[in-house]
Chain A
Amino acid sequence: MSELTIRDLHVSVETEQGNKKILKGVDLTIKSNEIHAVMGPNGSGKSTLAYTLAGHPKYHVEGGSIELDGEDVLEMSVDERARAGLFLAMQYPVEIPGVTVTNFLRTAKTAIDGEAPAIRSWVKDVRESMQNLRMDKSFAERNVNEGFSGGEKKRHEILQLELLKPRFAVLDETDSGLDVDALKVVSEGVNRAKESTGLGLLLITHYTRILRYISPDFVHVFVDGRVAEEGGAELADRLENEGYDRFLTGTNVG
């Protein structure tokens, strides 16, 4: 049983207009086997939370703490966080020209495990996961994210989630840009990963659509850099019907 604890987190981001405060005191605790959905209107700080957890250099932690089973995550470099068991499925994965998916996956797996995977079982695992995500075999020989469609990029992120077996995964708007079929395939992949490893999930989304396929245990509504309301899956249903309007009155969200 693992626990990821975020306490009173304050984060600012570098913009062309200077430093901008985005997160203004976030508290969140996620345990193994739990699914937490973070929802909220654009600009509420959802993606900032995701990138801060992963350690993107653009985001500055001004206060608060992030701990993984008592260890200080904020002290860790980006790669140390990944090796400690954190995973971020990105909204906009970047292209790495000249690096094949096969090479990339094996390099990442070796880095995470601290040793190269046994070739035969690894090749089999990769092939199975790709089949499950309805990815063509030729995919393995393509360069990472180069010329991938939106849906292919997201499948590739979830493929990594399945193969790298993190303790906690943050999915940053994984549902955006996916048609219904792709959304189903990707969601099945996430559920499979949770089933097999018992990882804890933080699902960041604007829409409730993906929650039909991945059912959350907890829902947190982000407004203006804070958690404005928390509840169970029923809160998502309410948002589906009402939208974010009732949270926005009186606040000034650009």
Chain B
Amino acid sequence: MSVPVTSAKPRTEAPLDHSKIGSAQHSAGGLGLSPVQTRSERFAAYEVERFQPARPTDAEWKYTPLAKVEPLTAGELDGGSYEYESQVQGGASVSWIARDDARIGTAGTPEDRASANAWSSFERALAIEIEGEDAAATVARRAMGGTARAAHLVIEAAPNSRGVVVLENTGGALLAENLEIIVGDAAELTVISLHEWEDDAIHLASHFTSIGRQGHLKHVSVTLGGDVVRVNPTARLGAERGEVELYGLYFADAGQHIEHQVFVNHDAPHTTSTVTYKGALQGDGAHTVWIGDVLIGRNGTGTESYEQNRNLLLSDGARADSVPNLEIETGDIVGAGHASASGRFDDEQLFYLQARGIPEDEARRLVVRGFLGEVVQKIGVPEIEERLDAAIEAELAVTP
């Protein structure tokens, strides 16, 4: 299924000055500035003042509708507590923690202005802790409202623990947030982040992950609803034999912008990463963006890595941007690969199914469900898989 309609291309970065990293983000375009050579050298800071205003020339904002997200990149954010519903099972707990909690800031540092704005504004963070063998927590946010808001979440899986965390997002939102995921040594954690916002919601999220020795994270981002939803998961494999699986599933309707900037940093020996993002687009102005960076650093000997993005365009007027980047700084790896394909509906598949008596609309549904189903099947939580199947079915029922 793959006449590529968007091309994979080598990385292009807005020029930044290396010498100024750590002081403040430098403005682009001056003479004598050399481009950032590796993804890990991108400017990062906790304080929003240290970032330049977001511009369409910035690598991290290039594809995003800047006017719509301006309240989050440039405006004042309400960092107070909000309502949530939670369900816990086994050794899982959910509670508010103070800004100065030692865990905050251990998984990552903001790399864009909205992320830093959220970091500078939140008053308390919501912490989800996982202990023991069969812990499960669901946190549902259903009333984030229309005020520009900052949020901070911390998910911590204790060493040797095993658990599943589900984040459900519905209702309206104008939200910038950071999520830190801390996977302890030999812990096995699944985080499923569902974005089923109302049509006018705007949500910019950065997910930072640190993975301990032999730790394993399965991270699934599902986006079906919202006006602009951008989820940027970063996973740093900084301890030996850490493993991360990053999955994404999205369905963009007319006028909807869904974006993911995925970054996997192999920074220790014998780490493994799998990145699979799949999306369907239907309707005029449906736009999806996927930028996948994989960096295999000098410490990343024995790395095994594969990333892929596939998009299925179901109608005219939809646009899928897909940019896989792979940087390798050591020759001693097991494997590294990437793939990207965005294509129209395959008429031969349609013919085959119709030749078996299946009417056209049902044949299309079958193909799309199958296409996205590959990611749904990875989730491993039957209730959520069933719910997503139904949600995809509902998306397909809307005529473009």
Chain B: CB-nearest residue to A111: B357
Contact A82 B357 (CB under 8 A): yes
The number of chain B residues with a CB under 8 A from chain A is 26
* Stretch from B91-99, B233-241, B341-349 forming part of the interface with A: B341-349
Q: A79-B357, A82-B357 are known contacts. Are A56 and B349 too (CB-CB below 8 A)?
A: no
Q: B371: shortest Cβ distance to chain A, in Å? A: 6
Q: CB-defined interface of B348-366 with A at 8 Å, one 1/0 digit per residue?
A: 1101111111111011001
Tell which of B346, B355, B372 touches A54, judged by Cβ atoms closer than 8 Å.
B355
B355 and A88 contact, CB distance less than 8 A: yes
Q: Which of A19-63 contact B (CB under 8 A)?
A: 54-57
| B49 sits at the interface (CB 8 A) | no
Within 8 A of B (CB), among A80-104: 81-83, 87-88, 90, 93-99, 103-104
Q: Which residues of A contact B366 (CB under 8 A)?
A: 96, 99, 103-104, 107
CA distance A114 to B349 in the complex (A): 22
Of chain B, the residue at the smallest CB distance from A145 is B352
A98 touches B358 (CB 8 A): no
A202 at the interface (CB under 8 A from B): no
Evaluate contact between A78 and B370: CB separation under 8 angstroms: no
Task: Let me know if A97 and B374 touch, CB within 8 A.
Answer: yes
- Complexed CA–CA distance, A24 and B354 (Å): 27
Nearest A residue (CB) for B371? A98
Which residues 102-148 of A sit at the B interface, judged by CB distance below 8 A?
103-104, 107-108, 111-112, 143
Asked if A164 is an interface residue, CB under 8 A from chain B, the answer is yes
A12 is an interface residue with CB less than 8 A from chain B: no
Closest chain B residue, CB of each to CB of A85: B357
For the complex, give the distance between the alpha carbons of A103 and B351 in Å.
17
Evaluate contact between B349 and A96: CB separation under 8 angstroms.
Answer: yes
Report A-chain residues with C-beta under 8 Å of the C-beta of B347.
Answer: 57
B379 interface residue (CB < 8 Å to A): no
Whether B358 pairs with A56 at a CB distance below 8 angstroms is no
Most buried by A among B355, B359, B362: B355
Bound-complex Cα distance A108 to B362 (A): 10
Contact, CB under 8 Å: A164 / B356: yes
Is A77 in the interface zone, CB < 8 Å from B?
yes
The chain B residue with its CB closest to the CB of A103 is B366
Cβ contacts under 8 Å, B349 to chain A: 94-96
Q: How far, in whole Å, are A104 and B359 apart by their CA atoms in the complex?
A: 13
Instruction: Please give the distance in Å from B395's CB to the nearest CB on chain A.
Output: 16
Contacts known (A79-B354, A82-B354, A90-B352); A96 close to B367, Cβ less than 8 A:
yes
**Contact yes or no, B357 A96, CB < 8 A:** no
A205 in contact (CB, < 8 A): no
Residues A164 and B357 in contact, CB atoms below 8 Å apart: yes
Give B357 Cβ to nearest chain A Cβ, in Å: 4
Cα distance A56–B346 when bound, in Å? Answer: 13
Tell me, in angstroms, the Cα distance from A81 to B356 when the chains sit together: 9
A40 to B352, CA, bound (A): 25
Flag if A111 contacts B358 (CB, 8 Å). Answer: yes
B1 at the interface (CB under 8 A from A): yes
User: Is B71 interfacial (CB 8 A cutoff)?
Assistant: no
Asked if residues B354 and A78 are in contact (CB atoms below 8 Å), the reply is yes
- CB pair A96–B352 under 8 Å, yes or no, is yes
Contact A83 B352 (CB under 8 A): no
Shortest CB distance B136–A (Å): 27
- B357 neighbours in A (Cβ, 8 Å): 79, 82-83, 108, 111-112, 164
Give chain B nearest CB distance to A119 CB in angstroms: 19
Q: Are B370 and A77 in contact (CB under 8 A)?
A: no
In the complex, what residue of chain A is closest to B360 when comparing beta carbons? A79
Alpha-carbon distance between A160 and B348 when the two chains are bound, in angstroms? 18
A103–B365 Cα distance when bound, in Å, is: 13
One of B351, B360, B371 near A56 (C-beta < 8 A): B351
Residues of B within 8 A of A77 (CB): 354, 360
Within B15-60, which residues are at the interface with A (CB < 8 Å)? none
Output the least CB separation between A176 and chain B (Å). 18
Contact status A111-B359, CB under 8 Å: yes
Known contacts A78-B351, A90-B352, A94-B348; is A108 also within 8 Å of B374 by CB?
A: no
Separation in Å of the B372 CB from the closest CB of chain A? 7
Question: Which of B348, B362, B371 has the most chain A CB atoms closer than 10 A to its own CB?
Answer: B348
Q: Mind listing 23 A-B residue pairs with CB under 8 Å?
A: A54-B351, A54-B355, A77-B360, A78-B351, A79-B356, A79-B358, A79-B360, A88-B355, A90-B352, A93-B352, A94-B346, A96-B353, A98-B373, A99-B369, A99-B370, A104-B353, A108-B357, A108-B358, A111-B356, A111-B358, A111-B359, A164-B356, A164-B357
9 closest residue pairs by CB, A with B: A98-B370, A82-B357, A78-B354, A99-B370, A108-B356, A111-B357, A98-B373, A112-B357, A79-B354
> Besides the contacts A94-B352, A96-B366, what 14 more A-B pairs have beta carbons closer than 8 Å?
A57-B347, A78-B351, A78-B355, A81-B355, A83-B357, A90-B352, A96-B353, A96-B367, A96-B370, A98-B370, A103-B366, A104-B366, A107-B366, A108-B356
Which A residues contact B (CB, under 8 angstroms)? 54-57, 77-79, 81-83, 87-88, 90, 93-99, 103-104, 107-108, 111-112, 143, 160, 164
> Which positions in B face A, CB cutoff 8 Å?
1, 346-349, 351-360, 362-363, 366-367, 369-374, 377
